[in-house]
Amino acid sequence: MVEKTPQSGHDGPYPAPVEVRGFTVRPEWIDYNGHMNVGYYGVAFDKALDVMLEEQLGLGKTYVETAGAGPYILQSHVQFRREILEGEGFHLHFRLLDHDAKRIVYFAEMYADRDGVLCASQEALIMNVSQETGRGAPFPDWAQARLARMQVKHETIPAHPAIGAALGIRR
């Protein structure tokens, strides 16, 4: 099945950044150090990404169910800034950094609700993948137009030092 028209999301204008709220650190996400385990940061970023893709761009669950394709994360770089504890609320900000016919690069920031402090950031590369072939596939024209509009809007956000950061030991 190939989706010809969007079934969710909207054509803009898009907030810069896109904010996704309503998350809480679950008890099962806590590790032996008493804070959210490293793996669950990825879960939290992914759950918020699903909301952003569905509600803003129309490339979430509804897209996958109707288009026979969907977003797969190919690469992710998470930076941890401050621990977040059980029961704490948090929200995320997303900005689109780049895109082409098949791929999206985004940057997300996780903030604690209690004081607004940055807890973590993630920069990731997504590819639209055909469920039929398991290979990269172009986004539909309507999605590429939405991505272009969002990218123009998000280019107005000041650069963040974590974007494009290399992994390594500072000497």
Find the CATH number of the domain harbouring 107.
3.10.129.10
pTM (2 d.p.): 0.94
pLDDT digits (tens, 9 = 90+) for 88-100: 999 999 999 999 9
| Mean per-residue pLDDT, 16-29 | 98
In a domain, 69, yes or no: yes
pLDDT recorded at residue 3: 57
Burial environment of residue 7 by CB neighbours within 10 A (0 to 12, 13 to 18, 19 or more): middle
pLDDT digits (tens, 9 = 90+) for 131-148: 999 999 999 999 999 999
In the chain, the number of structural domains is: 1
- Distance (Å, rounded) from C-alpha 75 to C-alpha 153? 24
In a domain, 86, yes or no: yes
Strand duo 69-80 + 118-130: pairing: antiparallel
91 residue type, one letter: H
In a domain, 77, yes or no: yes
CA 6 from chain center: how many Å?
A: 19
| Mean per-residue pLDDT, 126-130 | 98
In a domain, 1, yes or no: no
| Mean per-residue pLDDT, 28-36 | 96
pLDDT band at 171 (very low <50, low <70, confident <90, very high): confident
Domain that holds residue 139: 18-154
pLDDT recorded at residue 115: 98
